[in-house]
Structure 1
Amino acid sequence: MSDVPPAVPHDLRSGSDSRTLRDALGCFGTGVTVVTTLDRDDAPVGLTANSFTSVSLDPELLLVCLNRKSTQLPWFARAEAFAVNVLHIGQLEVAQRFATPDVDRFDGTDWEAWSTGVPMLTDSLANFECAKFAEYDGGDHLILLGRVIRVRFDADLDPLLYYRGRYRELHFD
C-alpha cells in the first residue's frame, strides 16, 4: 500500500465546436493593444485587440486582427496607416474603454500624432506607427499587415496581459 494520494484527474476537454476552440485559444496568454487610425473627418478612432504579432524584421512587418463586428472596422479597412499601442499594467481602464461600444474612447486618453497623423497613445508600453502593407480576409476578422514606420517603447514597464478571458499582470517570485 502506498502513502501517495491518488492523482487528481485533470480537467481535459476536447471537441470541435467554437466554444471549445475559444477556450483552448484562451490558454495562450497575449498582450493587450489598442489599434488606432483616423475616420473620414480625420477624427481619431480605435479599438482594443489582442491578436497582434510580429511578422518580419526585413521588411519590418506586424500583423493585427480586427473583429468584423466592430463599428470601427470601416475606418481601418479604408485607412492607409494605423497604429498599434501595446498597453502596460497601468492601462487596464484604457483597454476597457476602447473595448466598450458607444463611448468616446479618446475622452481622457492622451495621444499624439506622428508622421501619418494616426493617434499614438502617449503613455503606452510600446507604439508602432504603420503604413498598411496588406489586408486579408480572416473569416470573422480582418487581418491587417502593417509596415512599421516608427516605434517607441518603455523598457521599464510591464505589459497588460489577457489570459482565459481576463486581464492579468505578470507575477515573478
Structure 2
Amino acid sequence: MTDPAVRTPPAPQATAGGFRTMMSGFPTGVCIVTSADLDGTPRGMTCSSLCSVSLDPPTLLVCLRAGSPTLRAVLDTGRFTVNLLHEGAREAAELFASGDPERFALVPWERSPEAAGPHLVRDAHTIADCEVTLTQRTGDHVTVFGEARAIRQEQERPPLLYGLRQFRSWSAA
C-alpha cells in the first residue's frame, strides 16, 4: 500500500529516441536479409531484428522496414535468405545498412536457382533460405515469419554483434 502523501513523479513518456537508446543496450547478432525482386534484381538490408520462433517446423522471424525494396521483394516472391554475419563482416553490415544502390557490386555473392535470395558466402557464417509463412505490420516495420527450408554453414567463425550503436566481435565481447 502506498502512502497518499508521497507523490511519485509520472513516468516519462516513451519516445522514438528513448526507445532507440533502450534497445541499443540490448546487444544482438547481425544478419543481412536478402531476396530478389520479380525481375531478378538482388535486394538486401542489414537486420538485427531476428528471432527464432519454432524448432518444428524450423521458423524464424525478421523485422524489415516498411517500404524497403528488400521487403517488397520478400513479399512479392514469398522467399528470403538470412545471412548470419561473422565477426569479420562489419564492412558488409555497414554497406547493407547504408542503402548504397551498388551494394551487390561491392561484395561477393552467389545465388543458385533453389536459393531464396543471394548468399553472401564471404561474410556469412551460416545461411538459411526461408519461405514466408506469415507477415504482420506494426508501426514502421513488418514482421516476416519464415520457415527455414535449407540451412548451410559457410564458415566456423564467431558471430558479429551489434549493441550500444557499435559492431563488435563475439571474441572481443
TM-score by length of 2: 0.84
> Does residue 70 of the first structure (1) align with residue 64 of the second (2)?
no
CA distance in 1, matches of 2:155, 2:120: 16
Listed as ranges, the gaps of 5+ residues in structure 2 are: 1-11
Residue 86 of structure 2 is aligned with which of 65, 85, 88?
88
The 5 Å alignment of 1:155-170 reads: 156-170=156-170
Percentage identity across aligned positions?
Answer: 34
Q: Say whether the 8 Å CA contact 2:81–2:116 is kept in structure 1.
A: no
Quote the RMSD (CA, aligned, Å): 2.1
1:3 corresponds to: none
1 CA distance for matches of 2:74 and 2:44?
A: 9
Distance in 2 separating the partners of 1:142 and 1:159: 25
- Once structures 1 and 2 are overlaid, which stretch shifts more, 108-117 or 40-49? 108-117
Which stretch shifts more, 95-104 or 30-39? Answer: 95-104
CA distance in structure 1 between the partners assigned to 2:75 and 2:116 by the alignment = 17
**TM-score under structure 1 length normalisation:** 0.84
Query: In 2, distance between residues paired with 1:134 and 1:34?
Result: 20
Q: What CA deviation, in whole Å up to 9, does each residue of 1:45-75 have, x standing for no partner?
A: 1111110011000111000000125343322
Q: Distance in 2 between matches of 1:21 and 1:99?
A: 19
Q: Which residue of 2 aligns with 1:113?
A: 111
* In structure 2, C-alpha distance between the alignment counterparts of 1:81 and 1:116, rounded to whole Å: 9
Aligned length, in residue pairs: 161
Match of residue 126 from structure 1: 126
- Residue 43 of structure 2 corresponds to 45
- Which residue identity is paired with 1:120? H
Q: Secondary structure at the match of 2:32?
A: strand
